[in-house]
Structure 1
Amino acid sequence: MPTHASPSAHPHSTRPRQRAPIRLLAGLLAPICLGFAGMSATLWALRQTPLPAGTFARSNTIAAADGQVLANWSTHGPVHREVPLSDIPRALQEATLAVEDTGFYRHHALSLTALARALWVDVAHGRVVEGGSTITQQLAKNLFLSQDRTLWRKLREAGYALQLELHASKADILEKYLNVIYYGHGAYGVEAASELYFGKPVRQLSLAESALLAGLPKGPELYSPFRSFAAAKARQHQVLQRMVAAGFLTPAAAAEAYRQPLAIQPQPRLAPPAPYAVQVAMDEAKRRFHLTDAMLEQGGVRITTTVDPLLQKAAEQALATTLPARSHLQAALVAMDPKTGAILAMVGGRDYRESAYNRAFAMRQSGSTFKAILYAAALERGWSPAREVDSEETTFLYQDVGDEETSAQRRYTVHDFADMYAHRPLTLREALARSDNVYAVTANLEVGPQAVVRTARQMGISAPLAPYPSLALGVFPSSPLELATAYAALANGGMRVHAHTVARVSSPGGELRAPAPGRERALSEGSSFILTDLLTSVLKPGGTAYPVTRFLHGPAAAKTGTTDTDAWMVGYTPRVVCAVWVGYDDNRPLTRSESHLAAPIWGKFMGAAQQRLPGPWYTPPPGLVRATIDVSSGLLATPGCRSTETDYFLPGTEPTAFCPLHNTSVAPQPPNRPWWRRLWGA
């Protein structure tokens, strides 16, 4: 009888049954292990990949000459007065968490619940509608990405959010978020928002005020208390109820906070301080001090400008109180220290928020303001203030550029404004005061247009110029900045200066060095003083700018200029030179009233500048001859001359004969010649 083997005697018969659970377990664990390995590898890669440079760097600062902060910025956009988390009230932190991300301290960058809910809504609508973003994701979007609502952007946002949480603490992330999020009306960050809406630092906010601010980022325009206080209060109530639901507040505390009155500040209308000068300073600092992108991304760079806050405010107010409301008329003002070229104030347009185009650099026809440059060239080449030219319509014959080898001549007829001529000889002082065109073209052709162009270049005019008779009338464009630079050479004794807006730059590594702007001799000291003395007549009775003296607090030298499309006034004292332009961006003609607006802007600013920067008037340099002349003849005045003027002359250019038109029995006095000339009878 055969014997049956026991089950243990046939192990192969049970192997399939033993391996089945193992295979099942392996099949279950393999995807989990692979997923875990893949996630670990992804997290390791994200941890090893650095965040974009400067993510948690300090902001860079631009300051006025007195240290007042004009702007903060980073390579990621505008930053307004960053504050540490310790200065942000706990109530504002909790209100923000309650309304934006209650699980912030529990999740790791992403909230799966919120993402699932957002995905369901997006699929239902067939497009990205709801974001489901955590605070970390929102910060990643604000720092690194655009505002596009696309799936690819959401994926990148999630990746950056994971990186943020792997590289920074929760406190760092929340602090950065509260300092960069947008609260409406140009306010980025809680400090700027607190100042904007409540007029105080963020650390002083109450629970009620904190709840209102925390509700704004979801819809800055929709919930703005400036636009709808009712909508802002309704949103505040939602935030307070979320705080109760999150366990941050009791219902009684929330109700009490809602009942508290809110003192909302009036909505400001002014742009940020000195916005045009700030932009120029940023560009100049990069160029002159060799600021690299890496240094700016690291942060902590401080640019100290040459801007005087009081003069900057005076410049902005001068434009605001002079230009007509509801007009597209534009204006620009540049004020400079004539001794150094430091920009003290700059306004590039009537409203930076509407147009960031800086008209301080706009090239416009300079009109009669160019005559100061013309007469500087004439004085340098022996022209005398006593030189007289008939003021009447005149046709000039001249040889055109390029016709030197031919005898061809051209005609050029000169008219004064509105054909208003004096119909008598004018001295240089009278010609400047009246802005006579015939006198200017006469001087230009006799001195030589090429010589005038050379002098303009020496004084700082780099714009294209051509040696034509019309050069004298300012038909070639210049910018307000160039004209301010040229007039600075008259104001400082003949030295060409170089305009600049940056005084110094420092970084966390120390002070950065750059060559100081230089100075070069452009005119003789005597010529610049003589022309300065002559230009004071523009602001005296009969001068084209006499009406603006009601704004001034002392003497000044200036010149007006008007074309069909441009109105100018440029002038100075020993401590400040100012150029003002008024016109339209599209070059449309000015009305008669609009053509007179540059002068009052200049007068209002210079009056403030004279009070801000007082000082003595000029004294004549040694060697000049002072003489009183008869304006009818241009010769030395006698006691019988009724109309006289007193001028200064370079030695050898003063008149030596006495006026023969007015008889007198009293012997006239000779001019005040230097002692060394009197000693030798010269």
Structure 2
Amino acid sequence: MVQIVGPTGVWFDRHTGSFCVPRTGWVELRKPSGRASGDRDTIPATTPDPDPTLRKPMIRGEYDPERMKRLTDPLRRAWTHVREAMGTEDPGSPPPRDPTAIGRVHRIALVALVIAMSATLVAVLTIPGAAVIGRLARGVASKLDGGPRGLEGVSFKIAQRSVVYAAGGEVLATLAGEENRAFVPIDRIPEITQQAVLAIEDARFYEHHGVSIAGLFRAMFANVEAGSVRQGGSTITQQLVKNIIVGNEKSLDRKIREAQYAVALEKEKSKREILELYLNETYFGEGVYGIGTAAEYYFGKRVEKLTLAESALLAGIIRAPEYYGPFVSRKRALDRRNTVLDRMAQLKYEPGPDIDEAKASPLRFGRHPLPKPLDPYFVEFVKGQILDNPLFGETRADRARALFQGGLKIYTTLDLKLQNAATQAVAKVLTSKKDPAAALVSIEASTGKVKAMVGGNDFQKSKYNLAVQGKRQAGSSFKPFTMVTALEQGVPPSYTLDTPSPLELTDESGHVWKVQNYSHHGEGVMTMRKATELSVNAFYAQMIQKVGPAKVVDVAHKMGITSELKPYLSLALGTFEVSPYEMASAYSTLANGGVHCTPFAIDRVVDAAGKTVLRNDPDCQEALDPKIAAQADDILQGVIQRGTGRTNAQLGRPACGKTGTTDDYKDAWFTGFTPQFATAVWLGYPKDRTRPLYNIHGYAKVFGGSLPAMIWARYMKFAHTGLPILQFPKPPAVLPVAIPDVTGKPFDQAKSELEAAGFTVRQETVSSSLAPGMVAQQDPAAGTQTDPGSMITLFVSDGSGSGEPPSPEPSPSPAPSPEQT
């Protein structure tokens, strides 16, 4: 007979397996004869003890808090002495490499630990209703019922990783926080895997009611015999409660609450539900949680494919992953696996030959971490959408928990085939490591779904998403917003202006703006259609002054630009910074007949319970009159057919587009569309915004119609493979109008009449007998039928002579330069 270390008053008889608790009596563990198979181990009544002063039978009566305190105080002291005897070492930790180094103090301390835990349960069981030996299980269930509130307010929702899917169902990324866990229904977990875990952790799981007295005593004797903690007394239910509810605090109070909650849990959930939770909650080392994730990580397979040997290895890890993990010690992992298999043999879970074969097999395992996202820039964009959405939590921290621990299934709009085509289009054009970066965004015009996104060349080097976060000056690719504004105000495509260079314009504040054409010389008189095809700056500078920059801001925003814009004249030439995402969105309005569909990347989100918590349906609103959109499309088709995109942007089907190049060639754009897709491409140096695009793949100076148009065309050709060739709606017919007769009128009056009729006016001074300032002649002549917006030349008399002015020669139409933007 040995007294427990310290003044606990608890005695233990190693020969009989009995122990004595002060004021309670001696208790021994034995198996009653004739016990039926499956009956529980029972604790018989008290037996005589050598010290009559210690003897006191179990007392029946009402629950007495003071008596419970007297019963548990010695055990609290025993716990303290155990901790002191063992120093800082956790009594429940796995054995050291050299168990003999601990010596006698460690052995006695471990005995004290297990006895103290056992005595605690015995003391608790002395509460009325638990004293009857034959009713032990019912007593535990009735007296350890989880406290006055049971499981009220307790959540058994465990952290699960989330998965991001492409539109076709392909996995784009798996998002895991600190706990990498994929929940697996128990129906998918092989029976041999369940048996392996039960064999080593809780063989009587389907028999007890949450707390196993027999298991506790069995563990006690095994540990005493081994001189170290080889077995644990906690049931699977208790382990689950410890992990989810009460935590790992080393205290008697925690053990009591653990037992209470375990019994309460068994009342509310079935055994299969508890085992399913346990197998999915349990830690398997290496940051891996849950049996399904462990199967993936250690063996690279689904849990359904686990073999007997693999199941035993995983089951053996559970007790102490930092000790039995195969990457920690291959030998200990092997021994532990075989221990599990031996236990399965003892329990007759599997045939002996199968067990022997599994034990003879070598350990085969490896690290199979989560794969890197297929398209990290897009995945980061999607993550940002969740983190910014209050639907997933009040705070950003709440949303992060939902994203990384909520088991969300995030279904996106990304078409993986189109995404690969976009990536390849960039790679095929920009083939050198020294090349600039490129960004691409492609949107389905009729829905707003983002189908492809290239955010950069190397996510590991730079996580900055150039497609969304990268805002740069758009250059001439911003001219269509001024064009659309003009069309809305009734300015026809045939509207004509002279395009001198340099050109000085004064804004409303008195600021003088000096504009240069790309060629640095005047391009002559031309229509808005021609000026768009050839991207003539002087024309659009005058046009934005005519229609008003504030109106252009309004049109750009309603078409899909979200960045801040200022109503400056320079807006016409794209001096404000926007992203490729915005440009593709805005151009999609023209592709969709004037209807703007808000772009979106997430189709729907399903939570861990299978409930759809977010669904994005197309959000489409008419932004432009369909007739205006048709006119704009008709003009922009000419950019690819005859203008700055004719060399590299041809698709073999109707398409519209616009090139863009900023000052000093720092940015180059091509943005275009078909009725199906709108796609924007940007090219430049992200880190050095002042570095020009010089001498790249044979181009001395890269402009929008060169490399960006090549990338755009490569991608768009693939994107339209197998799609029908669609035509753009025809614009409304433009009827010719007769030119009013303004000869013989003062110039100012004549000019006003012609402009009121929709014409533009150019003045030339001639020698005439008319009074100075009077219109001597007009060209074309009065009554001529011509396009609205045509330029009329007025020959104004200087009053010096009587001769008629010669007929003017028409201005030559400029041929497009291959480097015009």
Which category describes the TM-score, using the shorter chain as reference length?
0.5 to 0.7
Separation in 1, partners of 2:235, 2:622: 64
1:398 to 497, 503, 506: 506
Cα shift at 1:451: 1.9
* 8 A contact 1:485–1:498 mirrored in 2: yes
Cα shift at 1:531: 2.3
- Classify the secondary structure of the residue corresponding to 2:147: helix
Confirm or deny that 1:477 pairs with 2:577: yes
Residues 143 and 317 of structure 1, relative CA distance in 2, 3 Å threshold: farther
- Classify the secondary structure of the residue corresponding to 2:672: strand
1:45 to 131, 147, 161: 147
* 8 A contact 2:68–2:124 mirrored in 1: no
2:553 to 441, 453, 459: 453
List alignment gaps of at least 5 residues for structure 2.
1-50, 58-65, 74-119, 128-139, 221-231, 346-351, 738-759, 762-785, 794-806, 813-821
Confirm or deny that 1:578 pairs with 2:679: yes
Cα shift at 1:251: 7.0
- Classify the secondary structure of the residue corresponding to 1:444: helix
Report the equivalent of 2:70: 31
Cα shift at 1:132: 12
Residues 526 and 654 of structure 1, relative CA distance in 2, 3 Å threshold: farther
Cα shift at 1:396: 1.7
Letter in 1 for 2:506: Y
Q: How does 1:477-556 map to 2 (within 5 A)?
A: 477-501=577-601, 518-540=619-641, 543-544=644-645, 546-547=647-648, 549=650, 552=651, 554-556=653-655
- Classify the secondary structure of the residue corresponding to 1:258: coil
Confirm or deny that 1:343 pairs with 2:450: yes
1:241 to 338, 344, 359: 338
Q: How does 1:356-395 map to 2 (within 5 A)?
A: 360-362=467-469, 364-368=471-475, 369-387=477-495, 393-395=501-503
Residues 451 and 45 of structure 1, relative CA distance in 2, 3 Å threshold: same
1:614 to 724, 741, 744: 724
Letter in 2 for 1:342: K
Residues 609 and 356 of structure 1, relative CA distance in 2, 3 Å threshold: same
Report the equivalent of 1:279: 383
* 8 A contact 1:565–1:587 mirrored in 2: no
Confirm or deny that 1:414 pairs with 2:515: yes
Higher RCO (CA-CA < 8 Å; seq separation 6+): 1
Separation in 2, partners of 1:372, 1:157: 73
Cα shift at 1:472: 1.4
Q: How does 1:35-74 map to 2 (within 5 A)?
A: 36=123, 44-45=146-147, 48-50=150-152, 52-53=154-155, 55=157
Cα shift at 1:206: 3.6
Letter in 1 for 2:362: Y
Separation in 1, partners of 2:177, 2:461: 23
* 8 A contact 2:603–2:616 mirrored in 1: no
Q: How does 1:78-89 map to 2 (within 5 A)?
A: 80=182, 82-89=183-190
- Classify the secondary structure of the residue corresponding to 2:505: strand
Confirm or deny that 1:557 pairs with 2:656: yes
Q: How does 1:594-609 map to 2 (within 5 A)?
A: 598-609=708-719
Cα shift at 1:55: 0.8
* 8 A contact 1:288–1:514 mirrored in 2: no
User: Which piece of structure 1 moves more, 590-599 or 534-543?
Assistant: 590-599
Report the equivalent of 2:818: none
Q: How does 1:71-470 map to 2 (within 5 A)?
A: 80=182, 82-93=183-194, 105=205, 163=261, 166-167=264-265, 168=269, 171-176=272-277, 178-179=279-280, 191=292, 201-207=302-308, 218=321, 237=334, 240-247=337-344, 252-254=356-358, 256-258=360-362, 268-271=371-374, 275-276=379-380, 278-279=382-383, 282=386, 287=391, 305-315=412-422, 318=425, 332-346=439-453, 360-362=467-469, 364-368=471-475, 369-387=477-495, 393-400=501-508, 403=509, 409-416=510-517, 423-424=523-524, 427-470=527-570
Separation in 2, partners of 1:559, 1:115: 78
Residues 164 and 56 of structure 1, relative CA distance in 2, 3 Å threshold: farther
Separation in 1, partners of 2:440, 2:432: 18
Residues 380 and 75 of structure 1, relative CA distance in 2, 3 Å threshold: same
User: Which piece of structure 1 moves more, 505-514 or 309-318?
Assistant: 505-514
Q: Report Cα offsets for 1:575-603 as digits up to 9, x if no partner.
A: 12223445566564455249776545533
User: Which piece of structure 1 moves more, 273-282 or 523-532?
Assistant: 273-282
Separation in 1, partners of 2:380, 2:430: 18
Residues 433 and 252 of structure 1, relative CA distance in 2, 3 Å threshold: farther
- Classify the secondary structure of the residue corresponding to 1:243: helix
Cα shift at 1:359: 5.2
Letter in 2 for 1:275: V
Q: How does 1:644-659 map to 2 (within 5 A)?
A: 652-653=788-789
- Classify the secondary structure of the residue corresponding to 1:547: coil
Separation in 2, partners of 1:618, 1:252: 74
Separation in 1, partners of 2:330, 2:681: 46
- Classify the secondary structure of the residue corresponding to 1:611: coil
Letter in 1 for 2:157: T
* 8 A contact 1:560–1:568 mirrored in 2: yes
Cα shift at 1:491: 0.9
* 8 A contact 1:461–1:486 mirrored in 2: yes
Q: Report Cα offsets for 1:461-492 as digits up to 9, x if no partner.
A: 23221121221122222233332222122111
* 8 A contact 1:62–1:302 mirrored in 2: yes
Separation in 2, partners of 1:181, 1:659: 91
* 8 A contact 1:623–1:651 mirrored in 2: no
Letter in 1 for 2:445: P
User: Which piece of structure 1 moves more, 419-428 or 456-465?
Assistant: 419-428
- Classify the secondary structure of the residue corresponding to 2:146: helix
Letter in 1 for 2:340: M
Cα shift at 1:510: 8.1
User: Which piece of structure 1 moves more, 440-449 or 428-437?
Assistant: 428-437
* 8 A contact 2:309–2:359 mirrored in 1: no
Aligned residue pair count: 586
Separation in 2, partners of 1:385, 1:556: 18
Separation in 1, partners of 2:302, 2:329: 20
* 8 A contact 1:334–1:578 mirrored in 2: yes
Cα shift at 1:620: 0.6
Separation in 1, partners of 2:438, 2:218: 52
- Classify the secondary structure of the residue corresponding to 2:721: helix
- Classify the secondary structure of the residue corresponding to 1:397: strand
User: Which piece of structure 1 moves more, 208-217 or 560-569?
Assistant: 208-217
Letter in 2 for 1:380: E
Cα shift at 1:365: 2.7
Residues 498 and 241 of structure 1, relative CA distance in 2, 3 Å threshold: same
Cα shift at 1:385: 3.4
* 8 A contact 1:392–1:424 mirrored in 2: yes
Cα shift at 1:626: 11
Separation in 1, partners of 2:176, 2:637: 47
Q: Report Cα offsets for 1:216-258 as digits up to 9, x if no partner.
A: 99479x978xxxxxx9987874664343454468774235532
